[in-house]
Amino acid sequence: QVQLVESGGGSVQAGGSLRLSCAASGWTRCMAWFRQAPGKEREGVARINDWSITSYADSVNGRFTISQDNAKNTLSLQMNSLQPEDTAVYYCAADQRLSCRYLSVYEPPLKYTYWGQGTQVTVSS
């Protein structure tokens, strides 16, 4: 069992930046960030696997950067040029199965076994 704890959410004006972090209590093979806006389904934002291969949703590509500190079991999401449409609860997700290496960023949440509690990001115009 792996526990995930997110931090770093908050409120920012459009064009601003935030950095999210996710601390994992154990080893993971793949990690990802999802987000869920009110009234919408949870969607993948960015992911990284144990080969350090990253992928991003088109909506955030070029603005968000996912990174991982394997020594500290920590996942980060640097979010720049934030827009009101980025407002959502952001979730950290992780999995240990070999198959997770090949997941697309657009895979549904059920593909990941472990989840954090979420952190709110609010972007005002």
- Asked whether the predicted pLDDT for residue 72 surpasses 80, the reply is no
CA distance 50 to 70: 9
CA distance 69 to 122: 26
CA 61 vs CA 4, 95, 117: distances in Å: 24, 23, 24
Least confident of 1-5, 13-17, 70-74, 75-79: 70-74
CA 84 vs CA 37, 44, 56: distances in Å: 11, 17, 19
- Asked whether the predicted pLDDT for residue 71 surpasses 90, the reply is no
Q: What confidence tens digit (pLDDT) does each residue in 22-41 have? A: 999 999 999 999 999 999 99
